[in-house]
Chain A
Amino acid sequence: AQKVTQAQTEISVVEKEDVTLDCVYETRDTTYYLFWYKQPPSGELVFLIRRNSFDEQNEISGRYSWNFQKSTSSFNFTITASQVVDSAVYFCALSEYPQGGSEKLVFGKGTKLTVNP
């Protein structure tokens, strides 16, 4: 079965520091998708990125960047020059395709990031 591990339960940094959130996954599928979602204190789940298993190119979006390495089954997320507004719980997720069913997401347990002023 699919599994997503976010080993860092909580991280605390000072504003402007760079921070990397780790995500390691397990799957037997050859085609799969990886996701990151952000859950700010207000509670909603905000989609950040989707990456398919055939695309190992790193992605950068503003202060956010993602490093996908199939060799280590990792999909890490880096925030550069962190800001207080980045404080949230971040979830890594993996798509799973049950036989006869539609895609479902398997989530990691989340990493709570606190950015202090």
Chain B
Amino acid sequence: DTAVSQTPKYLVTQMGNDKSIKCEQNLGHDTMYWYKQDSKKFLKIMFSYNNKELIINETVPNRFSPKSPDKAHLNLHINSLELGDSAVYFCASRRGGGTDTQYFGPGTRLTVL
């Protein structure tokens, strides 16, 4: 009964490829996020969705396209992968309608060769 799950956990791919990371939460939360953690462990928000609607887009290159088919899922598709995209990507969710705690998924380690 994992609260926030991500697949895959590890992703190794070549430069130029297109890949997707999936996120699902079973907490009944309204808001979902993608964060990127770089090699120095710095965590930065990328996107936020509330009830399938894009709310935050933090000047992320348009090679990154989030998609939320329903409020329990938020996927991240990355086109034309670059070496600098190598990072750990975390999905998070929280209950909407005010402030609440964000709960994070286990992360997906993406390595671009």
**CB-based contact A45/B41 at 8 Å:** no
Residues in B74-93 with C-beta less than 8 Å from chain A: 88, 90
Hey, what's the 0/1 contact readout for B88-102 against A, CB within 8 Å counting as 1?
A: 101000101001011
Given contacts A43-B88, A91-B43, contact A102 B96 (CB under 8 A): yes
For chain B, the count of residues having a C-beta within 8 Å of the partner chain is 27
CA distance A47 to B93 in the complex (A): 12
B92 CB, min distance to chain A CBs, angstroms: 8
Given contacts A47-B101, A109-B40, A109-B41, contact A104 B90 (CB under 8 A): no
* Interface membership of B113, Cβ < 8 A: no
Residues in A whose Cβ lies below 8 Å from that of B58: 104
**CB-based contact A102/B56 at 8 Å:** yes
A88 CB, min distance to chain B CBs, angstroms: 11
By beta carbon, the residue of chain A nearest B33 is A104
* Interface membership of A50, Cβ < 8 A: yes
Given contacts A33-B99, A98-B56, A102-B50, contact A107 B42 (CB under 8 A): yes
**CB-based contact B101/A103 at 8 Å:** no
Q: Which of B41, B42, B48 contacts A104 (CB 8 A)?
A: B48
Across the A-B interface, the 8 shortest Cβ-Cβ residue pairs = A45-B104, A107-B43, A104-B45, A102-B55, A44-B106, A101-B56, A101-B55, A110-B41
Give B residues with C-beta under 8 Å from A: 31, 33, 35, 40-45, 48, 50, 55-56, 58, 88, 90, 94, 96, 99, 101-107, 109
Not counting A43-B106, A107-B43, A107-B44, a sample of 14 additional A-B residue pairs whose C-beta atoms are within 8 angstroms of each other reads A43-B107, A45-B107, A47-B101, A50-B101, A101-B48, A101-B55, A102-B31, A103-B94, A104-B45, A104-B58, A105-B102, A109-B41, A110-B41, A112-B41
14 residue pairs A–B, Cβ–Cβ below 8 Å: A33-B99, A39-B41, A44-B106, A45-B104, A45-B107, A47-B101, A47-B102, A91-B43, A98-B56, A102-B48, A103-B102, A105-B45, A109-B42, A110-B41
Give A residues with C-beta under 8 Å from B: 33, 35, 37, 39, 43-45, 47, 50, 52, 89, 91, 95, 98, 100-105, 107, 109-110, 112
